[in-house]
Homo-oligomer: A and B are copies of this chain.
Amino acid sequence: MKTSLKTVLLIVLANLLLSLAAWGDSRREVKFPDVLDYKTLKCDFHMHTVFSDGLVWPTVRVDEAWRDGLDAISITDHIEYHPHKADVPTNHNRPYELVATKAKEKNILLIKGAEITRDTPPGHFNAIFVTDIAALDVEDFNDAVRIACEQGGFVFWNHPGWKPEAAGWLDIHTKLYENKWLKGIEVVNGDTYYPEAHQWCLEKNLTMLGNSDIHDPITGYEIYEDPELTHRPVTLVFAKEKTAEALKEALLDGRTAVWHKNQLIGREKYLDAIFKASVKIAKPHHSQKDAIWVEIKNNLGIDIQMEKAGAKRAEKLTLPANSTTLLRTKVDSKAEQVKLSYVVKNFLIAPDKGLPVEVIVPIQ
């Protein structure tokens, strides 16, 4: 009886959907420009479901990703930690299977992944682009990482400062690095930015990632806990096209930046390209005596918070997301252009170091 009931219900539902010629679902996504001839893909490579210690069915992660405007995700349930196993027997490859079709429908690249979970040190590591997660369920940590790499996996270190008392770059991390097993680090995990990890990525040429590590459903309610955290952290990947292959190539080549709260974190080359692609300076529309008036557009979905470089006292100029700013500035009447030097405080090219930029206003 129960099987037939289920069948009946499914048929009813299917007919209902098909009776509509067209059906739609809408989102408003925060926009980032494509830069340097790459497509800018928004990605989250770290999330959990009921198949480890998460609290949602795997398909929810695809719905959330679509709603948030992501291009690619990896569901990375813990291989070794299954608090729900009394009710959900362990089945490592199952989350991927359950959402593969839905991901295609929603135009999300689904990357097979898992979290190799050990006490700190060494800590937790994500292996993405792997082919068989069950094969990574082995006792020895180094074996697990090695097998992941042999499967073609891209391995990165998660929340490297999670347990402050045991944190730091230790011999075991050097070994992973020298074996070329470790390819990247999360400089952002959830609501936390790790400046030391940012520095390690710069020094050791590792790929920077920023991921949600979300266990709960993603709602709008996080705002009560941290008013600045209005979106999940996102790894921006600058890829040749929107395919799994191009995504992996870009990660291996270190072409990423991280969008965290109202900050961008990444190498100068990429942040500078985003700035230039986003900020548009018009010709002055009015001049009088020694001053000009000019409109500056910020087409980026985040505020650009600038401070005058080398100013005696702080002189701020914020270009809010998706806004037009009217700028009035002094001008030397003989100059052909006005050049204003700023530091973008919320575009971090190194810990505590903003992106230097020049705002150039043509006069004639």
**Interface segment, A33-41, A51-59, A128-136, A193-201?**
A51-59
Q: Roughly how many angstroms separate A104 CA and B326 CA in the complex, as a whole number?
A: 12
**What is the CB-to-nearest-CB distance from A64 to chain B, in angstroms, rounded to a whole number?**
8
Q: Is A205 an interface residue (CB 8 A)?
A: no
Residue of B nearest to A330 (CB): B21
Known contacts A87-B94, A324-B29, A327-B22: does B80 contact A2 (CB below 8 Å)?
Answer: yes
Residues in B neighbouring A51, C-beta threshold 8 A: 87
Residues in B neighbouring A82, C-beta threshold 8 A: 2, 6
Q: Is the interface of A mostly helix, strand, loop or mixed?
A: mixed
Residues in B neighbouring A324, C-beta threshold 8 A: 26-29, 69
Residue of B nearest to A27 (CB): B324
Binary contact track A106-125/B, C-beta < 8 Å → 1, others 0: 11000000000111000000
Residues in B neighbouring A55, C-beta threshold 8 A: 56-57, 59-60
Binary contact track A1-18/B, C-beta < 8 Å → 1, others 0: 110011011101000011
**What is the CB-to-nearest-CB distance from A344 to chain B, in angstroms, rounded to a whole number?**
14
Q: Roughly how many angstroms separate A308 CA and B308 CA in the complex, as a whole number?
A: 38
State whether B80 touches A26 (Cβ < 8 A): no
Interface size for A (C-beta < 8 A) is 85
Q: Is A88 an interface residue (CB 8 A)?
A: yes
**Interface segment, A183-191, A213-221, A345-353?**
A213-221
Q: Roughly how many angstroms separate A357 CA and B107 CA in the complex, as a whole number?
A: 26
Residues in B neighbouring A321, C-beta threshold 8 A: 28
Q: Roughly how many angstroms separate A92 CA and B158 CA in the complex, as a whole number?
A: 37
Q: Roughly how many angstroms separate A329 CA and B60 CA in the complex, as a whole number?
A: 22
Q: Is A295 an interface residue (CB 8 A)?
A: yes
Residues in B neighbouring A24, C-beta threshold 8 A: 296, 317-319, 325-328
Residues in B neighbouring A291, C-beta threshold 8 A: 18
Which of B224, B285, B328 contacts A23 (CB under 8 A)?
A: B328
Residues in B neighbouring A311, C-beta threshold 8 A: 21
Q: Is A167 an interface residue (CB 8 A)?
A: no
Q: Is A322 an interface residue (CB 8 A)?
A: yes
This chain: copies in complex:
4
Q: Roughly how many angstroms separate A80 CA and B291 CA in the complex, as a whole number?
A: 31
State whether B80 touches A22 (Cβ < 8 A): no
Residues in B neighbouring A59, C-beta threshold 8 A: 55
Q: Is A81 an interface residue (CB 8 A)?
A: yes
Q: Is A340 an interface residue (CB 8 A)?
A: yes
List of 10 A-B pairs having minimum Cβ-Cβ separation, nearest first? A217-B217, A220-B220, A22-B329, A55-B57, A107-B285, A219-B219, A26-B325, A24-B325, A104-B286, A24-B327
Show the binding face of A for B, using Cβ within 8 Å.
1-2, 5-6, 8-10, 12, 17-18, 20-29, 50-51, 54-57, 59-60, 63, 66-67, 69, 80-84, 87-89, 91, 94, 98, 101, 104-107, 117-119, 139, 163, 216-221, 224, 285-286, 288, 291, 293, 295-296, 308, 311, 315, 317-330, 340
In the complex, besides A22-B328, A50-B50, 10 extra interface pairs with C-beta distance below 8 angstroms are A5-B117, A6-B83, A10-B83, A21-B329, A22-B315, A24-B317, A24-B328, A27-B324, A28-B323, A107-B326
Q: What are 23 A-B contacts with C-beta separation under 8 Å?
A: A1-B139, A2-B80, A5-B119, A6-B80, A12-B163, A18-B291, A20-B315, A22-B317, A26-B318, A28-B321, A28-B324, A29-B324, A63-B216, A66-B326, A69-B324, A87-B91, A87-B94, A87-B98, A88-B88, A89-B89, A101-B288, A220-B221, A224-B320
